[in-house]
Structure 1
Amino acid sequence: MARAGLSTERLVQAGAELADEVGFDQVTVSALARRFDVKVASLYSHLKGSQDLKTRIALLALEELADRAATALAGRAGRDALAALGNVYRDYAREHPGRYDATRLRLNPETAAASAGGRHSQMTRAILRGYDLAEADRTHAVRLLGSVFHGYISLEAAGGFSHSEPGTQETWEWILDHLDGLLRSRPTP
């Protein structure tokens, strides 16, 4: 019998909070059980195990991030939209570091297809339509933006840029300007 007050949604939310506190890699059903002061077995009526918990946290984080991105992108185009998307990812990573890490969890194909991950790709492709790229180049451009955004955010979070000038915000703006310039200068066939 499930413990009163526990639900899958409540456990996933608590798991996401735990990820932000201790890191996504440290999230387990055991750690979650300790948080609720219950036996691990009592959580198995809601979760299949730690991998199920992590997958559900990843799905929650992808949804939260997609919702924020959609709001930020409304009515924007060009560099303004590019910066809005990048800033949403960067701000989310700062506010929710564990959840942000969860967004990069490898999901099985069926779960990935049903997740908000597709919304992220659609929003990025919508931004790229403003750059008049050939259809064949859009997938490359989506991957470029993802690599730059996630790479910079990960290095910044690890303190990789904290030992030198200029400051990280100045570099971030420089990167956004140059990505915009690169995408504008790409010749169309």
Structure 2
Amino acid sequence: MSLPNLITLGRILLVPIVVWAIASGEVQLAFWLFLLAGVSDAIDGFLAKNFGMQTELGAYLDPLADKALLVSIYVTLAISGLLPRWVAIAVVARDVMIIGAIMLSALMARPVTIRPLVVSKVNTTVQIAFAAMVLAAEGFGVSLGSAFHLGLVAVGLLTALSAAAYLAEWMRHVAS
């Protein structure tokens, strides 16, 4: 077990704590824990890439940790009334679609290797930034004003574009 993998496991263990913090109204704590998770993601990636600590386990754990955190936060923020439910549904549906396509490809004996697309990386960055903004605004009592609506539109559009791009890639793979 490498140090980056241990850091990633720690990030996975933070997920239920962040969910609890949001659900309990401890949004400021949730913000700081979310920030800690983001910093840990950068550190484990840096260590793995720059010190030859990349592992097959880490290649699976890192995106799992990222998705578990993002999906959990969006669902919890929506249930808590801090985000409209549609945005959480969009975030979850995209990930379910991708996982479903991977599983279907495996069942069809046509396994697909998913590599992050540029639109997906941008989408993840915007989802993280928007979740952090919402947590910070709620936790510190700051109004986001029109930035909230702009963030919703950005997350919604990028999530849809990312889902469509992965679907197109998958369809090309299955058709070949």
Report the TM-score when normalising by structure 2. Answer: 0.37
Higher relative helix content: 2
Q: Relative CO higher for 1 or 2, CA cutoff 8 Å, sep ≥ 6? A: 2
| Structure of larger gyration radius | 1
